Structure 1
Amino acid sequence: MSTYIPPLEDMQFVIEQVLDAPASWRAQPAFAELDGDIAREVLEQAARFATEVLVPINGPGDKQGCRWSPEGVKTPDGYPAAWKQFVEGGWPALACDPEVGGQGLPNLLNAALFEMLCASNHGWTMYPGLLHGAYEAIKATAVGEIRERYLPKVVSGEWLATMNLTEPAAGSDLGLIRSRAEPLDPRPDGSIANGDRMAITGNKIFISGGDQDMTDNIVHLVLARLPDAPGGTKGLSLFLVPKFMPDGTRNNAWCDGIEHKMGIHGSATSQMRFERAEGWLLGEPHAGLAAMFLMMNAARLHVAMQGLGHLDAATQKAVRYAQERVQLRAPLRPADVPAGGGPDRIEWHPAMRRILLTLQAQSEGARVLAYWIGVLLDESEHHPDEARRRHCTNLVALLTPVAKAFLTDLGHRGADDALGVFGGYGYVHEYGVEQHVRDSRIAMIYEGTNEIQAIDLVMRKLLDSPRRSDALLAEIEAEAAACTADGLALEAGALTAQIATVRGALEALQAARAADPEAPLRVADDVLHGLGHTMLAWAWARSSRCAPRHASPAQRERKREVARFGLQWLLPAAQWRWQRVQDWALPLPWVRT
């Protein structure tokens, strides 16, 4: 019951028809030679790896979990062998620069790859989940011998990487970080430069892959403070600290234990101790947070794919079960089903139909949104027109917190709804859906909790940068006009209404900030979920408009049907979110006992 089948047909439909990514690739010299055939082959090979290698070790790995000892961490059986196959297939290098050993393929295809990996085996996927972000950080900051030694190993996947931010007293508030770094070769004038050798001391917690037996070395990226660094986040620097030094000696970077978690049992979530561990400064002194954000932003997009992966995998399981399970008599049967006695498939019962259609509409809409961000990310980096790059950069900045928070929320709550389709069997491990509920919950917490994503969206991306919301609304207006031209009144009307709603909400937010500095923060979560639904509306409308391009006649009708279900049944549920934004002056009492 735990089988996952990558939705290649829908992925290809979104990439080629809904988003017309091949046309975008042709406009970018970096991808000019890439076409739909190559992209399809990449997706097919990725699907084969996911289903043949990762799916079989997902359930057993969840039950076995990681094992810690003073000698190191042992990952579940099959994990190291799967990683070896992943590296041999060249997958870590998929979206990396060819000049440093990468394949130079689009971030869009990398996003599709990670959707399949996460849906197949979230615990295993945690290990490569930070690798591309580490590549970005090292590529942007490392110099000289450090760059030459470590960047190729990270690109190829020969060595895995970690991101060491969180400390016992510094969770989301990185300004409280106390880990320190001291120059090992101090200059007489006290100056410090990129690449200088350092001794790192401190403790970190919740470090994914802090130790493992899948690679011969681990590249730790660590935030710490140089001597006399200013307080707060402006005093943080970034350091590269390997598990093993270039001469093969063991560095003083130790895993003191692993967390016993609700889910992702195959991921070694580690407590790390650095005792004058040797490392090197990456980038300029006190500029570590900016360098780390290169890694964190990539990680947040990967986390969004975790939400989508869980949502789609759980949806598949629920639909298959509902088609096989028979219970009671349904009030109506599909027109092509002959009349007869019960019991009937539970998929025919109205309550189940609503749940299953909700899951399908959310999954397909979320895929369009996530893949569009992939297209925008590629154009923001590679498009030859500077104005287009700037436009796409603004959209990516605005949509990243929405994707991270909204898609992970959909993934967890969708998995929970899918479990309900199974009844009591959903609570049983062998059916596979309860693992999605457990594994998906963490994605709402790490890489910046969803509440922090909402604050970032409202305070930095909307209120302080109105040009970003203007750019997004212009995209939605263009889709509404396209729907109108194709005679799709329902789709065009829904988008036009959303545009007016978002503009009204932004006006209310500006008024709220002027009257009460706390008010935008009180309704930030509502803004994010409201905008998330707006983006689903855009995705559903675009899918409906492009439905006639689908290769399958049956899917043409189904695509439009599911999209319209989303617009008619699901979109109105967001209205209370927007209403709460308008009612920003409502008091929020203090918590008392």
Structure 2
Amino acid sequence: MPSYTAPTKDMQFVLHDVLKINEAATPGYDELERDFTGAILEEAGKLTSDVLAPLNAVGDTEGCRLENGVVYTPKGFKEAFDQVRNGGWTGLDMPEQYGGQNMPYVLGAAVGELFSSSNQAFTMYHGLTHGAASAILAHGTDAQKDMYLPNMVSCEWTGTMNLTEPHCGTDLGLMRTKAAPQSDGSYKITGQKIFISSGEHDMADNIIHLVLGKIEGGPEGIKGVSLFIVPKFAVNEDGSLGARNEVTVGSIEEKMGIHGNSTCVMNYDGATGYLLGEEHKGMRAMFTMMNEARLGVGQQGLAQAEVAYQNAVIYANDRLQGRAVTGAEFPDKPADPLIVHPDIRRSLLDQKSFVEGGRAFILWGAMLIDAAHRGKDKDADGLVSLLTPVIKGFLTDKGYDMTVKAQQVYGGHGYIEEWGMSQFTRDARIAMIYEGANGVQALDLVGRKLAQDGGKHVMAFFDLVKSFVKDKAGQDAEFDASFLEPLKAASKDLQAAGMYFMQNGMKNPNNALSGSNDFMHMFGHVCLGLMWAKMGLAAKEALAGGTTDTAFFETKLATGRYYMARQLPATSLHLTRIQSGADTVMALDAANF
């Protein structure tokens, strides 16, 4: 069975040495001392490594089962959910008013990686609840917040998001779910939703569904969509639970991965619902949940890559296969371990450099969210809005690739279920699809986010990179050559791609959209390049300052040099593809595919 060890040391390095969270001006960050964050991460690490990780294979093997309208989760899930709930982990960054601990989001994001790495299917139950609670917090009335949030923050009740229908996924304007107004101000919700994660289960007393639907007589298309709170059980004025609502599970989806999560077909047969936010403004309210979810899904891609990498390293050190090409390194053994071979090292360094760079990227993004929400920083809000499709799309595409690389290290054993590596690949695959498929993320980035606020935010990103390179250049020739020059070159590639879109996208939008996936990946590489330059600088400063942990910081520098030399130059390839335009992409008639 695979193992998992929480990478708390690396998280502490990123939070304190690289991002320097304790020095940030964001309200609440002054409390994030190294000892404080360390204690929280260590406790989360124990829970995820000792309790949740051993249940990962159980959930994958057993899955969920539907019997007489009730969904039963895998063995051990319910008891583990009680531990998570009792430890206060579900409300770490939620308001104290509703039972949360009011910690900054960045700390919740760090803890969230540990949960997702150890057991992604399990973590989705309280992760989606957090998103649903955030939507109610942002758009609900005071009465709605008081009624639902205390139990959702504690996860006595869980939450879902209901968007997709059998005939519409991304194009939500096609939805058929109807909402009929009632004289008491409620609505009768009728329709069917599919792919509803955590739609029904046995771990909470109530489930609060957030459901998109169209109010009868409203505008056509997406402009007529509203969002409704539809509880599984009615909630009485005193907070007690009433009658069962007219919402039932039609079936559980049979999926490639995340078997431990109950992905349901949900039927609404005149269920009582309550408007959340304004009429016909449902997408605005839902996107409060979606944007948070997209960062969380980006983290899922990273998290599966992390746990897969950990196990690949163990296997590469243990498995004896062949001899090093330069001569036996372990002559007393019948063969050398896999890790002596250059191609295995290349694969492992691809994984290691991605995971560590991606972790810094996620936590930087979480800091921007805190600055936007806690500090009311509009520039930070604009920048993280720009980066959200990159975080979601790039980290899940590459995260999946890294789980495949980790599986490949095992050779044939990676394909055998008892070794557990295939689960990481299968679980990572969904992250590229849900919460907006990655192709849609790329289209959103190029078609909408680049031009947002007159291009202000992408220009701010370019200025951020340029200023960093300029400020740090000239102090160390080796650092300049290994880190700053590659970052500068990659950033120029990204700017050249943006210029191509400006010059060619207006006259033929396909020129921009055909290059959107390449641009998203190019942007992701530049972001990780920036993170690696920052991490390299922090490591260099620690070594110059006389740290006793020289191995950690020298390893960090070596890993960063690898990324800058072997991964970041991919921006040149992506630029070449973008500048080839749309002609080759659009050349075939549909009948010729």
How far is 1:499 from its partner? 2.2
Greater shift in the superposed pair: 203-212 or 128-137:
128-137
Counterpart for residue 447 of structure 2: 459
How far is 1:70 from its partner? 2.5
Q: Is the 8 A contact 1:512 1:520 kept in 2?
A: yes
Counterpart for residue 189 of structure 1: none
Identity across matched positions, percent = 40
Matches of 2:417 and 2:566 in 1, distance apart?
Answer: 32
Q: Is the 8 A contact 1:326 1:344 kept in 2?
A: yes
Unaligned runs of 5+ in 1: 187-195
1:382 aligns with 2:374: yes
Greater shift in the superposed pair: 555-564 or 123-132:
123-132
Counterpart for residue 237 of structure 1: 226
1:118 aligns with 2:116: yes
- Equivalent AA in structure 2 for residue 4 of structure 1: Y
How far is 1:21 from its partner? 1.1
Deviations 1:16-68 (A, max 9, x none): 101111111xx233343332211111111111110111011111111000001
Matches of 2:571 and 2:487 in 1, distance apart?
Answer: 13
1:13 aligns with 2:13: yes
1:302 aligns with 2:296: yes
Counterpart for residue 190 of structure 1: none
How far is 1:345 from its partner? 1.2
Counterpart for residue 313 of structure 1: 307
How far is 1:144 from its partner? 4.2
Aligned CA distance change for structure 1 residues 332 and 463 (closer, same or farther; 3 Å): farther
Counterpart for residue 103 of structure 2: 105
Counterpart for residue 210 of structure 1: 199
How far is 1:157 from its partner? 1.3
How far is 1:339 from its partner? 6.5
Pairs within 5 Å for 1:236-275: 236-246=225-235, 247-275=241-269
Matches of 1:93 and 1:439 in 2, distance apart?
Answer: 25
Pairs within 5 Å for 1:322-361: 322-332=316-326, 343-361=335-353
Matches of 1:225 and 1:514 in 2, distance apart?
Answer: 34
How far is 1:342 from its partner? 5.3
Q: Is the 8 A contact 2:22 2:31 kept in 1?
A: no
- Equivalent AA in structure 1 for residue 105 of structure 2: N
Matches of 1:574 and 1:339 in 2, distance apart?
Answer: 42
Deviations 1:104-149 (A, max 9, x none): 1111111111111111111111111212211111012222433211
- Equivalent AA in structure 2 for residue 129 of structure 1: G
- Equivalent AA in structure 1 for residue 319 of structure 2: R
Deviations 1:371-426 (A, max 9, x none): 1101111111112xx5xx11211110011100101111111110011101001111
Q: Is the 8 A contact 1:221 1:240 kept in 2?
A: yes
Counterpart for residue 289 of structure 1: 283
Aligned CA distance change for structure 1 residues 333 and 252 (closer, same or farther; 3 Å): farther
Counterpart for residue 395 of structure 2: 407
Aligned CA distance change for structure 1 residues 298 and 339 (closer, same or farther; 3 Å): same
Matches of 1:260 and 1:508 in 2, distance apart?
Answer: 43
One of 561, 571, 575 as aligned partner of 1:564: 561
Deviations 1:468-497 (A, max 9, x none): 111111221232124314312121111211
**Partner-residue secondary structure (3-state), 1:114:** helix
Matches of 2:367 and 2:327 in 1, distance apart?
Answer: 41
Q: Is the 8 A contact 1:463 1:510 kept in 2?
A: no
**Partner-residue secondary structure (3-state), 1:206:** strand
1:489 aligns with 2:486: no
Deviations 1:556-591 (A, max 9, x none): 111100000011111123321111112214332234
How many aligned residue pairs are there?
576
**Partner-residue secondary structure (3-state), 2:265:** strand
Deviations 1:513-554 (A, max 9, x none): 122022211111010011111111111111111113275211
Q: Is the 8 A contact 2:180 2:189 kept in 1?
A: yes
Greater shift in the superposed pair: 97-106 or 450-459:
97-106
**Partner-residue secondary structure (3-state), 1:22:** helix
Greater shift in the superposed pair: 549-558 or 374-383:
549-558
- Equivalent AA in structure 2 for residue 575 of structure 1: S
Greater shift in the superposed pair: 471-480 or 201-210:
471-480
One of 162, 165, 175 as aligned partner of 1:164: 162
Matches of 1:267 and 1:29 in 2, distance apart?
Answer: 36
Matches of 1:539 and 1:330 in 2, distance apart?
Answer: 33
Matches of 1:145 and 1:353 in 2, distance apart?
Answer: 57
Q: Is the 8 A contact 1:132 1:298 kept in 2?
A: no
Q: Is the 8 A contact 2:16 2:22 kept in 1?
A: yes
1:516 aligns with 2:505: no
Greater shift in the superposed pair: 348-357 or 490-499:
490-499
How far is 1:358 from its partner? 0.9
Q: Is the 8 A contact 2:490 2:568 kept in 1?
A: no
Counterpart for residue 538 of structure 1: 530
Counterpart for residue 176 of structure 2: 178
Q: Is the 8 A contact 1:96 1:103 kept in 2?
A: yes
Counterpart for residue 2 of structure 1: 2
**Partner-residue secondary structure (3-state), 2:203:** coil
1:70 aligns with 2:68: yes
Matches of 2:101 and 2:463 in 1, distance apart?
Answer: 34
**Partner-residue secondary structure (3-state), 1:245:** strand
Q: TM-score, normalised by structure 2?
A: 0.94
Q: Is the 8 A contact 1:131 1:161 kept in 2?
A: yes
How far is 1:333 from its partner? 6.8
**Partner-residue secondary structure (3-state), 2:229:** strand
Matches of 2:355 and 2:51 in 1, distance apart?
Answer: 24
Q: Is the 8 A contact 1:486 1:545 kept in 2?
A: no
Matches of 1:582 and 1:499 in 2, distance apart?
Answer: 16
Aligned CA distance change for structure 1 residues 333 and 7 (closer, same or farther; 3 Å): farther
Q: TM-score, normalised by structure 1?
A: 0.94
Matches of 1:413 and 1:338 in 2, distance apart?
Answer: 31
Q: Is the 8 A contact 1:237 1:287 kept in 2?
A: yes
1:575 aligns with 2:575: no
Counterpart for residue 28 of structure 2: 30
1:92 aligns with 2:77: no
Matches of 1:338 and 1:295 in 2, distance apart?
Answer: 54
Q: Is the 8 A contact 1:65 1:76 kept in 2?
A: yes
Counterpart for residue 366 of structure 1: 358
Deviations 1:292-336 (A, max 9, x none): 0000011111101101100111111111100111111112379xx
Matches of 2:15 and 2:72 in 1, distance apart?
Answer: 38
- Equivalent AA in structure 2 for residue 19 of structure 1: L
How far is 1:441 from its partner? 0.2
Greater shift in the superposed pair: 559-568 or 496-505:
496-505
Matches of 1:511 and 1:481 in 2, distance apart?
Answer: 28
Greater shift in the superposed pair: 204-213 or 570-579:
570-579
Q: Is the 8 A contact 1:208 1:270 kept in 2?
A: yes
Aligned CA distance change for structure 1 residues 253 and 338 (closer, same or farther; 3 Å): closer
Counterpart for residue 193 of structure 1: none
Counterpart for residue 126 of structure 2: 128
Q: Is the 8 A contact 1:477 1:495 kept in 2?
A: no
Unaligned runs of 5+ in 2: 236-240
One of 428, 439, 445 as aligned partner of 2:433: 445
